[in-house]
Amino acid sequence: MPPRNFEILIAFALLFTLPGQTANLAAAPPMGWNSWDSYGLTIDEPQFRANVEVLAGLKSYGWDYAVIDEGWYLANPLAKPAAFKYSWDSNGRLIPDASRFPSSANGAGFKPLAEWVHRKGLKFGIHIVRGIPRGVVKENLPVANSRFLAADAGDSGDTCPWDAGNYGVRDTPAGQAYYDSLIGLYARWGVDFLKVDCISDHPYKAGEIRMIANAIRKAGRPVVLSLSPGPTNLSHAAEVAEYSQMWRIADDIWDGWAFPGQTFPNGLLSAFDNLAKWAKYARPGNWPDADMLPWGSLTPHPGWGPPRQSRLTQDEERTQFALWAMARSPLILGADLTRLDDFTRSLLTNKEVIAINQAATTSQEVPGSPEDAARMRVWTAEAAGRALTWPGPHAAWLAVFNLQDSEVRKDLPWPPALAGRKEAIFDIWSGARVAPSDAVHVKLPPHGCALFRVEK
């Protein structure tokens, strides 16, 4: 059975992420919902509010960020990119399209919507693509609270390879002034989470990362900064950790085990190697991000592919959940929350798996031979030294993953970190207590996993 005092655990994990606690921002991996996997560019205010109503019912499990992804400033999100109609203010800052977000009219921006989200006990986030709109530079609008104009800030020789709507921002006082103006506005709206795209890879833009982080600091509001897309190069690990709270370690992951012969998107299988090499960089305030959870109903306008129910099997969804939890990746759901199926809801409310993600203090993949690694992966995680009623002063977890397309039955030796005295062992999926033995007995379906809690 799940621990009854799970709420104590979540309260502890999130204790230092309250407004004003900037020194401990994102003390645990952020959890929440993002609109991209189900709505792509198209979400409007009624749809967002409907999803937030459902998310509010999941808050007690730790899901608390509600994020509007790309395109909220477009009047015609289903048009071809060359015909997009952007909304910006007199200082060239993107603002919500009022026909899609009526509460933003008359200069209100997202402030009314953010306040409504906050009254639900949740946190509000938005997505932007780095840079300054090309049309703003063409009009050469003034940069608020500065002597600069948009042409001083924008770099017309720099556009995002896959979204040409913006120019890059120059790493100059004019560029910093533009980001100060932009982020300052969004902070006044009440934004708690800012996902910035086309910045952590293809291309990596160190100057803009630093300028955005500086602008957040000047704005004086705790804002989680999420950098996208991946794969962020390991050589940038120290820099992204200095300036952001989470950064993508993979390009977009969608609902497939693998996509042979394709460079985009990534399948779930690719996450094993990515998370293993980034594991040592996961710590309070810094979370390598394996991307969103494309579960459930990916409708009505997913960011990739046709509207559909997730093509991941239930075993694959369990595997993704367990791997993300063990590796302490942020947990950001992509499903249309208004169409939650029972199985997806069962994952979102699995307190034991969420507890691993939120309470573990260390996690790592257990090394194996190259031959074994192609067939199975093993991870351990531990929560040590926390004054919690549950999972206790020292608890650990073990996950065994089957990477094969066929069932596997195997007895595995306990990893060295868990080979000592074990007071109790529990199968997390079934809730059953497991008899102690010298080996771990697993029977795994294709792409499935076993997950155990060990109390020491």
User: Options 3.40.50.2000, 3.40.47.40, 3.20.20.70, 3.40.1350.10; which CATH number does 6-361 get?
Assistant: 3.20.20.70
- Tell me the backbone φ, ψ of residue 415, rounded to 5 degrees: -60, 150
β-bridge mates for residue 383, sequence order: 395
Phi-psi region of 62 (alpha: psi -120 to 50; beta: other; left: phi over 0): left
What one-character DSSP code corresponds to residue 449? E
Q: Are 26 and 241 within 8 A, CB to CB?
A: no
Q: Given the DSSP bridges, would you call strands 376-384 and 394-402 parallel, antiparallel or unpaired?
A: antiparallel
Q: Could you give phi then psi for residue 157, rounded to 5 degrees?
A: -90, 5
User: Which residue is it, tokens 């693509």?
Assistant: 129
Q: What pLDDT shows up at residue 455?
A: 84
| pTM of this structure | 0.93
The predicted pLDDT at position 328 comes to 98
- pLDDT of the residue at 186: 98
Q: Round to whole Å and give the CA distance between 330 and 314.
A: 20
Domain boundaries, the chain: 6-361, 370-455
pLDDT given at position 400: 97
Closest CA to 449 of 377, 389, 344: 377
Identity of the amino acid at 89: D
pLDDT of residue 390: 53
* pLDDT per 10-residue tile (average), the chain, 456 residues: 46 40 79 98 98 98 98 98 97 98 98 98 98 98 98 97 96 98 98 98 97 98 97 98 98 96 94 97 97 98 98 98 98 98 97 95 89 89 67 78 95 87 86 89 96 89
Q: How far is CA 193 from CA 69, 110, 186, 335, in A?
A: 11, 13, 10, 19
Burial class of residue 288, CB neighbours in 10 A (0-12, 13-18, 19+):
buried
CB atoms within 10 A of CB 374: 11
* Cβ atoms 241, 278 nearer than 8 A: no
Residue 170 and residue 419: Cα distance in Å, rounded? 54
| The predicted structure's pLDDT at residue 372 | 81
DSSP-derived 3-state class of residue 224? strand
Please report, for residues 42, 78, 164, 226, 437, the alpha-carbon distance to residue 83 in angstroms, rounded to integers and kept in the order given. Answer: 15, 10, 12, 28, 65
Phi, psi of 182 (to 5 degrees): -65, -55
- According to DSSP, residue 233 is labeled P
DSSP string, 324-380: HHHHT--EEE-S-GGG--HHHHHHHT-HHHHHHHHH-SEEEEPP--HHHHTTEEEEE
Just give the CATH number of 370-455: 2.60.40.1180
Query: CB–CB of 70/81 below 8 Å?
Result: no
pLDDT at 391: 52
Rounded distance between C-alpha atoms, residue 418 and residue 406, angstroms: 28
| Beta strands per DSSP E along 414-448 | 424-427, 439-444
What is the C-alpha to C-alpha distance for residues 243 and 14, in angstroms, rounded to an integer? Answer: 20
